[in-house]
Structure formats: structure tokens, C-alpha cells
Structure 1
Amino acid sequence: MFDIIIWGGACISVAGLVGLVWCILRVMKARRSNLSDDELRAAVQRVLPWNLAALFLSVIGLMLVIVGISLG
């Protein structure tokens, strides 16, 4: 039972990590394209909600892993 919680949390955490890498790559691409300051700021603001969602997924996944380990 607790193995499911641990592995599910690990999968959720990996999904969040993939999202964080995607956000980093998007911002790096925007920085390399020599945008103006306002355009770069708009690009970063578009990525920010995705970044926070990915971070949230990672945290929830790690919490599930910790709960599964401590209860199992």
C-alpha cells in the first residue's frame, strides 16, 4: 500500500522536475533571442505560472514520498 504512495509521489515529483527544466529552457530561449526589456519581462511573466505549478508538483510529490516512507 505504501509503495504506491512512494512511487506515485516519485512520479509526481519527476513530472514537476520536468516542468521546471521546461521553464528554464523557455526563459533561456527568450534571453538568447535578444528581446527588448519589456518583451523579455513579458516572456518571463508568461512562464512564471508554469514554474510555480511545476514547483508545487515537485513539493507535493516529495511530501508523498516522505509520508509513504514514514508510514511504511
Structure 2
Amino acid sequence: MEWLIWGGVALTLAGVALLAYCIIAALKAKKLGGSDEEIRARLQKVVALNLVALLISAMGLGAVTIGIILG
């Protein structure tokens, strides 16, 4: 089950990296300014990406947990 653990670690790290990107993108969207609607449109894209990143991280952590239990 070692492959399941390392695969889960890779998924978790990819999710965390994507979360870091979301943080940077949100800060950049606020810094660029513009009208409220423009900022809201940029942040809505970031929110969708943020949810995907959380899902990837959760799947990775689940895989690690299952790998540890089965291993």
C-alpha cells in the first residue's frame, strides 16, 4: 500500500500548491482594483478553483489515511 500513500501525498501537495495559487490570485485581483463587478467576477473564478483545490487535497489525505490503515 506504499504506492497509495505516496500517491495521496502527491495529490495533497498538488492541492496545497493550488490553494497557494488561489491566495495569490485573490490578492492580485483585489490589488488590480476596478469596479465591484470586475473584482467579483475575478474572485468567482478563484472560488471555483479553490473548491477544486480543497477537493484534491481531501482526496489525497483520504488516500494517505486508507493507505496507512491497509498497510
Instruction: Give yes or no for TM over 0.5.
Output: yes
> Gaps spanning 5+ residues in structure 1: where?
none
TM normalised by structure 2 equals: 0.94
Residue matched to 1:15: 14
Give the aligned partner of residue 3 of structure 1.
Answer: 2
Number of matched residues? Answer: 71
Matched, 1:48 2:47: yes
Give the aligned CA root-mean-square deviation in angstroms.
Answer: 0.8
Gaps in structure 2 of 5+ consecutive residues: none
Q: Percent identity?
A: 42
Distance in 2 between residues matched to 1:34 and 1:12, nearest whole Å: 33
Shift of 1:35: 2.1
TM-score by length of 1: 0.93
Q: Give the corresponding residue for 1:62.
A: 61
